[in-house]
Amino acid sequence: MDNLTMDNVTVDNDTSAQDNHTLGVWTDYTTQYKVASVFLVSLICGVGIVGNVMVILVVLTTKHMRTPTNCYLVSLAVADLMVLTAAGLPNITDALYGQWVYGYAGCLGITYFQYLGINASSCSITAFTVERYIAICHPIKAQFLCTLSRAKKIIMLVWALTSVYCVMWLFLSDTTKLAYDNVVLLSCAYKVSRSYYLPIYFTDFAVFYVLPLMLATVLYGLIARILFLNPLPSDPKDSSKKWKKETSREGRMISTNSSSSTTAASRRQVTKMLAVVVVLFALLWMPYRTLVVVNSFLDKAYLDTWFLLFCRLCIYLNSAINPVIYNAMSQKFRAAFRKLCRCGPQRKEKPASYSVALTYSVIKDMSNGESPDHFTTEMDELHTPTDQYAPVSAKRPREEPSLSGSDVKA
C-alpha cells in the first residue's frame, strides 16, 4: 500500500533524480491550499480523535457495552487513532513547511504506525464481519465461537501479526535530501526503487483491501438472506397485540413470537450499522487506491496537489466517521456517549427489559452452564426504548463497534 506521508514522486522518479543534479525549481504551496489543507485536516482529525477516544472509553468503562462486537469496534477505533495521528497530523506540517520536519526517527516511526493502523483497521473490519456472520447464520456454533474472551484473543492475534508484518517498513523507509535549483528539502521516502516497491504495494492492496471487501460482500449477502428474508416480524409493535392476547388468557406476558420479533429487529439494526462501516471503508479508500494503481502504470505520475488532498481527506474521514455512525445508528452507543459527556439526564444503568432471543435461549439451556456473553447484548442495539415494556419487567424477572502529504513539487 502506498505510504501517505512519504514522497511518492521521489520513488517513482528516483532514476531521473540520480541522473540530474537538481529537480528543477521548487515552488511552495499556494496560500489557498495551505489554508484549506490545514483547516480541513485539523477539523477532520480533531473530530476523529475525540470520537474514537470516546468509543474506547465507553466500551471500557461501561459493563453492558463490553460485547464481542464492541471489542472489535474498540480495535478499529485504536487503529483509526493511529491513522489520524500518524498520517493526518504530518499533513499539516507538510502544508506549512513544504518538507519533512520530523527527522530520521520520525520518518521510521510515523511510517510504521501509519501502516500498522491501516492494516489493523482492515483486519478489525474483517473480524467483526466474520463474527456477525457466525452469530446470525450459525447461532449454535456462535454460542461457543462468538464469546468475549475469544474476541479478545482474536484482537490480540490481529495486532500481533500486523505489528510483525509492518516491521518491514522500518527497513524500507529513510529520509532523503532533494536538491532543487533554489532550495534543498528533506523528504521521507522509500529506500527501494519503484520496481521493488510495486510488488509490495500490490500485495498490501490485495491482502488488506481487495480480499476483505470480497469477503465482506459474500458474508453480508448471506447475512441479508437470513435477516431480511426472515418471516419474523421486525417491529415489536406488531407483536404487542399477541402479548396482550396471551395476557388476557394466562395473566402473564410471555410470547416467543414477540421475543423473536424484537431480536430480529435488533440484529438487523446492528448488522446495518456494521455494513455501513464496511461500505464507507470501501468508498472512502477508493480514490486514493485508484490513484496509486493508475500511477503505477504511468511513466509520469498524476500528482495534482488538490486531488491528492481530496484523496487524503477521504481516508482521514474514513477514520473519523465511525463514531458518528455508532451514535446515529446505535441507541446504546448514543446513550453511552451522552453519559460520558454528561449531556443528557443521568439515569441508573440497568439491563434491557426484553427477553433474550428465542434461538439463544434454547442454546443457553443446552450450554451446560457456560455463559454466552455475546448473545445477552443482542437486544442492546435496538432503538425501541425499554420503557415501552415496563409492565413486562414488573411482572417477571429480567434476563440478563503518503496519507499526510509531503509530495515534493517541481
Question: What tens digit of pLDDT does each residue of 250-273 get?
Answer: 444 444 455 555 566 777 788 889
Q: Is the pLDDT of residue 295 over 70?
A: yes
Burial of 381 (0-12, 13-18, 19+ CB in 10 A): buried
Q: Is 47 within the bounds of a domain?
A: yes
361 or 34, which is more confident? 34
> Residue 285: which CATH number?
1.20.1070.10
How many domains is the chain built from?
Answer: 1
Query: Which cell goes with 301?
Result: 505520475
Report yes or no: 177 and 184 within 8 Å, Cβ to Cβ.
yes
Domain with 179 in it? 8-229+271-349
pTM of the predicted model, to two decimals?
0.77
Closest CA to 256 of 245, 242, 244: 242
Tens digit of pLDDT for each residue in 167-203?
999 998 999 998 888 888 999 988 877 777 788 888 8
Task: Report d(CA 134, CA 399) in Å as an integer.
Answer: 23
Confidence of residue 230 (pLDDT cuts 50, 70, 90): low
Report the mean per-residue pLDDT for the chain. Answer: 77
Tens digit of pLDDT for each residue in 43-64?
999 999 999 999 999 999 988 8
Q: Is 373 within the bounds of a domain?
A: no
Task: Residue count of the chain, please give it.
Answer: 410
Contacts 24+ apart (CB under 8 A), 336-341: 336/58, 336/62, 336/65, 337/54, 337/58, 339/58, 339/62, 340/54, 340/57, 340/58, 340/61, 341/54
Q: Is 265 within the bounds of a domain?
A: no
Q: Is 88 within the bounds of a domain?
A: yes
Angle of helix 68-83 relative to helix 31-61, nearest 10 degrees, comes to 150
Residue owning grid cell 395476557:
247
Angle of helix 211-227 relative to helix 256-296, nearest 10 degrees, comes to 160
pLDDT more than 90, % of the chain: 45
Q: Is 401 within the bounds of a domain?
A: no
pLDDT (average), residues 112-123: 95
Q: Any idea which of 8-12, 186-190, 208-212, 344-348 has the lowest mean pLDDT? A: 8-12
Q: Is 252 within the bounds of a domain?
A: no
pLDDT (average), residues 128-136: 92
pLDDT (average), residues 143-148: 89
Q: Is the pLDDT of residue 139 over 50?
A: yes
Q: Give the pLDDT of residue 362.
A: 34
Q: What is the per-residue burial (b if ≥16 Cβ within 10 Å, else e) of 29-55? A: beeeebebbeebbeebbebbbebbebb
Query: Which cell goes with 354?
Result: 426484553
Q: Is the pLDDT of residue 285 over 90?
A: yes
Q: Is 362 within the bounds of a domain?
A: no
396 residue type, one letter: R
pLDDT (average), residues 393-408: 45
Q: Is 403 within the bounds of a domain?
A: no
